[in-house]
Structure 1
């Protein structure tokens, strides 16, 4: 399984990195828009697995919302969408995670349907905004999520003894989460030391506010990456499935790959606005 995951990850990076660095920003936006549409299809299938046509319509609706906000250049609406996503991750997601498996997806079907049309377009919009600041700026922000995930996986496997959220994701441990957080601190420090300060959110934040606020910012983004992962795991368990789909060998579905990015990208985009 690990070998398949690594091969799929290498293939994804082989597509992502040239698109990010060698092509105009439009192509990256188009690539991720397709991923968001696939994630929306998976999202709808989790809510109503028997409604095949509804899943395609849901994906089209997500595409329409995304392209409408960007195509018509509506900054107030864009900010509103990012703010709605951030409010969910700050206030509602913790409540849902606290409830564990004591939720009914059937009763919350309408809520989750609306939620997907907020979180998925918001993540895509945030990606475009961060890309406008430079490919390194976007890549380093996304890499924070990957570093946290890698650190949590391997350190959790090695040292993990205490479950982080046993009902939702039995494989995740407190030791893994702490290890992932420590690795993100190291990653942010290396970005500040070896990259121009304005090229990453870490350097820009350290220059504007200082080192301690920068560490707090990294902590917040890392914790929300964990929250996004747990939220998607809870969503799948409520739907009674292991993977959101089988589109990516070894990784499950697209949602399984972008779950931690869903909170981090919009929150990072809003934090950048404070610099």
Structure 2
């Protein structure tokens, strides 16, 4: 199992890293388009669609992403849309988590499918837009989510006592959440005031924009909020899987599960990061 996970991770990195570090943002937009389309297929299956209909959902999502990229272009996406998508994540996920796994299937299936379609398209558009802003910017958003997740895991393993959401994800604890948030705050400060001035990066990171543009207290609060939303994204996907009795969103990524299993924490963070960035851009 570990060997399979490592091989899959190496293959993914061999595809993603060259696209991410390419001189143009287009290769990364194309690669993430394929991944988000696969996520659309997984969302359809998790919400009761038969295979042909789930494939059609993934294809339609890919088509909308491609139209956005080649038609009006990502530059035409208004900043207000990030606030709308961010608000949908905050309010929608709060409602879903309140309903719990038993309540999710009782929501109209058409509404669940439309919600997934919109949120996945919005996440892809935000990720592709972030790459267009600059390599340092998008890496800082990725690292925020990864650091929050890794330190939450180790913090929960070593200090976890109080369960965060036992009915949805029994392994998560409040202590893990606080540890992840503290690590993100330290990362943001170190990146902004230590690393970034020495590397002469292509564009300011999300951390630098928030901590200097909003001021230190509000900037740190914004990082705490984004860290919390990465946890919400993870819990939201876990809730959907638990509602249908699925361990993974699919088996597309051997040893890792599905695409949604790997990107769930990223989905709310990127639109919200761009919404906050619009305050200081």
TM-score, length of structure 2 as denominator length: 0.90
Matches within 5 A, 1:108-257: 108-192=108-192, 193-196=194-197, 198-257=203-262
Q: Equivalent residue of 1:103, what SS?
A: helix
Corresponding residue for residue 55 of structure 1: 54
Change (3 A) 1:124 1:78: farther
Within the candidate set 263, 269, 275, 1:264 is matched to 269
The separation in 2 between residues aligned to 1:160 and 1:67, in whole angstroms, is 43
The separation in 1 between residues aligned to 2:167 and 2:277, in whole angstroms, is 35
Gaps of 5+ in 2: none
Change (3 A) 1:80 1:215: closer
Deviates more, 1:6-15 or 1:110-119: 6-15
Superposed CA RMSD in Å reads: 2.0
CA shift for structure 1 position 84? 3.4
CA shift for structure 1 position 105? 1.3
CA shift for structure 1 position 103? 0.4
**Is residue 69–residue 78 contact of structure 1 (8 Å, CA) maintained in 2?**
no
**Is residue 104–residue 240 contact of structure 2 (8 Å, CA) maintained in 1?**
no
Corresponding residue for residue 274 of structure 1: 279
The separation in 2 between residues aligned to 1:202 and 1:77, in whole angstroms, is 23
Count how many residue pairs are aligned between Structure 1 and Structure 2: 274
CA shift for structure 1 position 207? 1.9
**Is residue 243–residue 252 contact of structure 1 (8 Å, CA) maintained in 2?**
yes
Matches within 5 A, 1:72-87: 72-73=71-72, 79=79, 81-87=81-87
The separation in 1 between residues aligned to 2:190 and 2:136, in whole angstroms, is 14
Matches within 5 A, 1:10-25: 10-25=10-25
| 1:227-274 deviation per Cα after TM superposition (whole angstroms, max 9, x unaligned) | 000000001111221100011123210000110111000111111111
